[in-house]
Amino acid sequence: MTRFGAVAIVAGLGSIAIGRMFGVIELFVIGTAFLASLFAAFVFVAVRSPKVSGARRIRPTALVAGDVGRVELALQHHGSVRSTRFGLTERVRRQHAADHLAELTVEPMARMSMASAGYQLPTTTRGVIDLGPLHAETRDPLGLLRRVRLVAGVDRVIVAPRAHPLEMPELGNGPLGRHLLAQARRLGPGEFHSLREYVDGDEPRTIHWRASARSDALLVKQHSVEGLRRMLVVLDPDPASYADATSFERAITVAASLVQSAADASLVTRFVTGDCDLRGPDVATNAMSTLAEIAPSTAPLPTLDRDPGEGVGLLVVVSGSRSGAGIRSASSVVDPTQATVTVTTDQPARGNISASARSDAEFLSSWAKMVGRSSTRRLATAAAGTEMGAG
């Protein structure tokens, strides 16, 4: 019963009582009319209230901070009578933000029919959004009574941080590629590839004497060098490593970009932060879910032992400063087949094998310079999108 319904029942009973006390027929009529309107409202709500069930669909299915998200509601009316117009209400709850109430109006539905409705989701920042429960509310034309039915339960939506596509380093290309090439040579000469003529500076042990005997020139064996095979991304979660919350958000975007790009390049990828150590075929998906909810933490990083994976490896540590806990932890790793790269969100890069992310454009530019690739396309993407601090 609504506030107007309560007023109607009090007015009806009061009118009848006063009419009987003073013998005023008109008050009897007025009181009866009030009560009759309540009875009519009860019948209307009982008969015309929709028997609706619903299901949610989130578009796009994988939400990223900055995207335009939408909740689509598929409704089905199971009643045998045409419903009246009714409203849908759903609570939208975000971490560290005020709740939002989504309110929709649905036109009358024919018996055993289907309809759809929808609303936009606030996806300006990463995080977790809880939707529901979804209720349908029916009121009579006079607004005396209302009926609320449960349409759908509670769903959880994950808004992942924005991840920028990055080029992975190639051996011999750019400062990082040349460093990785030196690392690769420590694994041995690799597989035999072809023969070529000897030039000054070649190692005498590479001469293929049997083939040279059948040729007019000395021939040396040329071997293929194995490329980058694995990447370990470490995100420093210690709040003391960052100047402010915006700096930490930039670090999250950098880590998401590295993990997603490494997985897309078919590298054996591992992601470590706080008490979280992710690896395997679903590492990118699991890392995005973790990064959507992560908050600064003083939990120590897992022990970064030498990665047992095969081939050349790359360890990338993301922290606010070079004195951060994550960089100190990574410095203890001894692996002659793995190169270490630091990405700082509060300090400029130091040396050729490091990058800085004090802004979106700076990170993309310094990473491209380090791997020896053009950053034109990525800078254009960064200019068109939001700054990393917003994600």
Q: What is the pLDDT of residues 363-372, one digit of tens each?
A: 999 999 999 8
Using CA atoms of 278, 281, 285, 291 in order, give the dihedral in degrees to the nearest 10.
20
| Pairing of β 52-59 and β 69-77 | antiparallel
Closest CA to 337 of 374, 296, 367, 309: 309
Residue 131 above 60 pLDDT?
Answer: yes
> Between residues 334 and 388, which one has the greater pLDDT?
334
For tokens 């800078």, the residue is 379
- Please return the burial class of 116, using the count of CB atoms within 10 Å of its CB with bins 0-12, 13-18 and 19+: exposed
What's the predicted TM-score (pTM) here?
0.75
Quote the CA–CA distance of 229 and 250 in Å, as a whole number: 26
Instruction: Compute how many other C-beta atoms are within 10 angstroms of the C-beta atom of residue 375.
Output: 19
The DSSP call for residue 207 is B
Give the lowest-confidence range in 150-154, 242-246, 385-389. 385-389
- Model confidence band, residue 376 (pLDDT cutoffs 50, 70, 90): very low
Using CA atoms of 18, 20, 26, 29 in order, give the dihedral in degrees to the nearest 10.
100
Residue 389 above 70 pLDDT?
Answer: no
Q: pLDDT > 90: what percent of the chain?
A: 55
Tokens of 286: 């699991």
CATH code of the domain occupying 52-160: 2.60.40.10
Q: pLDDT > 70: what percent of the chain?
A: 87
Taking CA 381 as the corner, what is the angle to CA 292 and CA 247, rounded to the nearest 5 degrees?
45
> Between residues 198 and 149, which one has the greater pLDDT?
149
Tokens of 305: 């032992």
Closest CA to 317 of 263, 237, 214: 237
Cα 193 to Cα 187, 222, 224, 227, 249: the distances in Å are 16, 6, 6, 14, 46
* Contact by Cβ (8 Å): 63, 123: yes
Could you report the per-residue pLDDT of 210-225, keeping only the tens digit for each?
A: 777 778 888 766 555 5
- Model confidence band, residue 226 (pLDDT cutoffs 50, 70, 90): low
Tokens of 231: 């990447």
Give the lowest-confidence range in 19-33, 82-96, 159-173, 320-334. 320-334
- Give the mean pLDDT of 134-143: 93
The CATH architecture one would assign to domain 228-390 is 3-Layer(aba) Sandwich (3.40)
Could you report the per-residue pLDDT of 89-105, keeping only the tens digit for each?
A: 999 998 767 788 999 99
Range among 208-222, 233-247, 304-318, 375-389 with highest mean pLDDT value: 233-247
Phi first, then psi: what are they for 362, rounded to 5°?
-65, -40
Quote the CA–CA distance of 187 and 206 in Å, as a whole number: 16
* Contact by Cβ (8 Å): 289, 278: no
Tokens of 82: 């045409």
* Contact by Cβ (8 Å): 256, 291: yes
- Please return the burial class of 348, using the count of CB atoms within 10 Å of its CB with bins 0-12, 13-18 and 19+: exposed
Phi first, then psi: what are they for 273, rounded to 5°?
-160, 135
* Contact by Cβ (8 Å): 121, 63: yes
Give 263-292 as a DSSP string: HHTT-EEEEEETTEEEESTTHHHHHHHHHH
Closest CA to 134 of 70, 54, 59: 54
- Give the mean pLDDT of 204-208: 72
